[in-house]
Amino acid sequence: MPQVKHVPVRAGDVLLMVGTMKGAFLLRSNAARKRWEKGGPYSVGAPVYAMALDQRKGRHRLWWSEQSFRWGTVLRSSDNFGRTFTEPETYSIKFPADSGVTLKNIWQISMGNAAEPDAVYCGVEPAALYKSGDVGGTWELVRGLFDHPHREKWVPGGGGMCMHTVMPDPVDSKRMIIAVSTAGSYRTEDGGKTWRARNQGVRAEFLPEKYPEFGQCVHKIAQSTSKPQRLYLQNHWGLYRSDDGGDTWQDIANGVPSDFGFPIVVHPHDPDTAYIIPVESDEYRCTPEGKLRVYRTRNGGKSWQALTKGLPQKDALETVLRDSMATDSLKKAGIYFGTRSGKIYASANNGDSWKLIAEGLPPIVCVKAAVIEETKKAPRKALAKKAAKKTAKRAKR
Partner 1 sequence: MAVTFLIPAHLAALAANQKTIRVEAQSPTVRGALEALWQRHPALRDRVVNEQGEVRQHINIFVGSECIRFVDGLATPAPEGSEILIVPAVSGG
Instruction: Work out which of 8, 32, 100, 380 binds partner 1, going by CB under 8 A.
Output: 100
Compare residues 71 and 211 and give the one whose CB is closer to partner 1.
71
Should residue 397 be labelled a site residue for partner 1 when binding is judged by CB under 8 A? no
Q: Among 9-17, 87-95, 175-183, 237-245, which window interacts with partner 1 (CB under 8 A)? A: 87-95
Instruction: Work out which of 97, 283, 392, 396 binds partner 1, going by CB under 8 A.
Output: 97
Should residue 4 be labelled a site residue for partner 1 when binding is judged by CB under 8 A? no
Compare residues 100 and 208 and give the one whose CB is closer to partner 1.
100
SS (HEC) of the chain: CCCCECCCCCCCCEEEEEEECCEEEEEEECCCCCCCEEEEEECCCCCCCCEEEECHHHCCEEEEEEEECCCEEEEEEECCCCCCCCCCCCCCCCCCHHHCCCCCEEEEEEECCCCCCCCEEEEEECCEEEEECCCCCCCEECHHHHCCCCHHHCCCECCECEEEEEEECCCCCCCEEEEEECEEEEEECCCCCCCEECCCCCCCCCCCCCCCCCCECEEEEEECCCCCCCEEEEECCCEEEECCCCCCCEECCCCCCCCCEEEEEECCCCCCCEEEEECECCCCCECHHHCCCEEEECCCCCCCEEECCCCCCCCCCCCCCCCCEEECCCCCCCEEEECCCCCEEEECCCCCCCEEEECCCCCEEEEEEEECCCCCCCCHHHHHHHHHHHHHHHHHC
Chain positions 198 to 217 lying near partner 1, rule: CB under 8 A, are: none
Compare residues 72 and 288 and give the one whose CB is closer to partner 1.
72
Should residue 137 be labelled a site residue for partner 1 when binding is judged by CB under 8 A? no
Should residue 1 be labelled a site residue for partner 1 when binding is judged by CB under 8 A? no
In the complex, what is the shortest distance from the CB of residue 68 to partner 1, in angstroms, rounded to a whole number?
A: 8
Should residue 96 be labelled a site residue for partner 1 when binding is judged by CB under 8 A? yes
Should residue 3 be labelled a site residue for partner 1 when binding is judged by CB under 8 A? no
Q: Among 28-36, 50-58, 69-77, 138-146, which window interacts with partner 1 (CB under 8 A)? A: 69-77
Compare residues 141 and 222 and give the one whose CB is closer to partner 1.
141
Q: Among 84-92, 169-177, 215-223, 343-351, which window interacts with partner 1 (CB under 8 A)? A: 84-92
Rounded CA gap, 370 and 77, in Å? 16
Within 10 angstroms of residue 368's Cβ, the number of other Cβ atoms is 24
* CB 276 within 8 Å of CB 327: no
Compare residues 97 and 392 and give the one whose CB is closer to partner 1.
97
Rounded CA gap, 56 and 8, in Å? 20
**Binding pattern to partner 1, positions 297-336, x when CB under 8 A?**
----------------------------------------
Should residue 72 be labelled a site residue for partner 1 when binding is judged by CB under 8 A? yes
Instruction: Work out which of 13, 36, 38, 95 binds partner 1, going by CB under 8 A.
Output: 95
Within 10 angstroms of residue 80's Cβ, the number of other Cβ atoms is 12
Should residue 151 be labelled a site residue for partner 1 when binding is judged by CB under 8 A? no
Q: Among 66-74, 175-183, 320-328, 349-357, which window interacts with partner 1 (CB under 8 A)? A: 66-74
Compare residues 102 and 281 and give the one whose CB is closer to partner 1.
102
Compare residues 94 and 291 and give the one whose CB is closer to partner 1.
94
Instruction: Work out which of 80, 102, 138, 226 binds partner 1, going by CB under 8 A.
Output: 102
In the complex, what is the shortest distance from the CB of residue 103 to partner 1, in angstroms, rounded to a whole number?
A: 7
Rounded CA gap, 185 and 161, in Å? 13
In the complex, what is the shortest distance from the CB of residue 116 to partner 1, in angstroms, rounded to a whole number?
A: 26
Q: Which residues would be at the binding site for partner 1 (CB under 8 A)? A: 69-72, 74, 87, 89-91, 94-97, 100-103
